[in-house]
Homo-oligomer: A and B are copies of this chain.
Amino acid sequence: MARDMRVQRGSGYRGTLWSRIRRGVGRLTGTSPARAAMMIFAVTIAVFCSLLMMPWATASGRSSVFHEALFVATSAVTVTGLTPVNTADHWSFAGQLVILVGIQVGGLGIITIAALLAISVTRNLGLRTRLVAQEGGISTGSMGETGQVIRTVVICSAVVEAALALVLIPRFIQLNDDILSGLWHGTFYAISAFNNAGFVVHSGGLGGFGDDPVVIWTIMVGVFLGSLGFPVLFMLWRNRWHVRNWSLHTKLTLQVTLLLMVIGTVLYAVMEWNNLSTIGEMSLWEKVQNSLFASVNMRSGGFSVVESNVQNAETMLISDALMFAGGGSASTAGGIKVTTIAVIWLAFLAEARGDAESTAHGRTIPTSAVRVAVSVVAMGATLVLVSTVWLMYITGLDMGRPLYESISAFATVGLTSGLTEDLPPEGQYVLAALMFAGRVGIITFAASLTVRQRSRVRYRYPEGRPMIG
């Protein structure tokens, strides 16, 4: 974006179409990087929607209907994984390739844009706070310019995805594929996993690989790494296990991620232990492995070995909570993000202890961070509530499945209770809007709240303390 702006200012060619476009983009990004991010995502989705409308994109050779193409394009670019049609059966190879490219573009896009917004936030914060924002792991000091961010993100993604593919491809070939199919499946799942996309290209989903530890663990590692977020991966890559050098953001992200992963695994295992439709008949080790897989994927991956709606209803409610929590900031995971939860928890701890400020790892968390965190949670809860009511209204169902599907869309998880397939177009539009809001909305919302110029306080009102509770 910064590059665009430089072109805009320096350009002598005022007449050509190209320079006009660049100027337009420059003006857009100059006035509001957050709005620009939304525009870029909307345009990208529109492009992939058009591609998926093509007759060559489907297996049958007949064009998809608009609302299905829009839904799948949105789902791919927002790396959600919800889909009203079976990816393996409905689309041709070309169609599946379009989806895969959509996932890769969307995943890279969201990481890059989040990172760039963080830099733009840093720029607007002034020198003292800029040093502070370096604690977020992203800053001009450590990252350099726009171009360098993009280059680092792309290299980082490519390296991890290549590593995953190198494990998956031989395994798929070994299991039952020919070489070409193995290459395709391995590549697809590597990209789908690291981007937390949750799309599958087997018509039975991952059901057939539930007992294969190589496939299960590789996908799990990919999803886990992807869900940490670029700032954390970058920090780990630079500092390895020198924990002292880790940023506050990295420490908090890892702590909450691991905590939620353990909680999810234990709860899933306890509640599904004897459910014959899920893990009830498995061996002890497989029960643990599948509980861990379910837990990791609940918080955003969206891959599942068993269908969600054969789980107990209370397992789905626990999933609701973990899906809403989501993964790391500037990652391909969605939700309200783990650092949001950390900031709220630290605020609570500070109150309980009677401390005037909330602190963690030798750092003071600024008050405005608590307010941004609360705003993000309130926005998410409101969107999910409205969507759930609407889906209940048009389907006539009790709240379990509409809530699950709404949270899955908002948090771009992609786990499904089977409702997405059954929804009429007006329901699919709502979920598509929710995916968009959950993906692009949350990031830009938080960034624009953080970046707002603090108006200088000219006069200060006396304090007023309403009773609470």
Contacts and interface: CB of A to CB of B under 8 A. Distances in A.
Nearest to A128: B463
Interface in A295-327: 312-314, 316-318, 321
Nearest to A360: B464
A129 interface: yes
Contacts of A345: 378
Interface string A431-469: 000000000001101110110111101001111111111
A127 interface: no
A314 to B, nearest CB: 4
A399 B313 contact: yes
Interface in A14-35: none
A452 B136 contact: no
B249 A466 contact: yes
A335 to B, nearest CB: 10
Interface of A: 114, 118, 129, 132-133, 135-138, 229, 231, 247-249, 252-253, 271, 312-314, 316-318, 321, 329-330, 336-337, 339-340, 342-345, 347-348, 350-376, 378, 385, 388-389, 392-393, 396-400, 403, 442-443, 445-447, 449-450, 452-455, 457, 460-469
19 contacts: A129-B465, A132-B463, A248-B466, A271-B393, A313-B397, A318-B389, A329-B466, A339-B466, A339-B468, A340-B468, A345-B378, A347-B374, A356-B455, A356-B457, A358-B371, A362-B462, A376-B469, A442-B469, A446-B467
For the complex of A and B, list the 4 residue pairs with the smallest distance between their C-beta atoms, beginning with the closest.
Answer: A446-B469, A363-B464, A354-B452, A248-B464
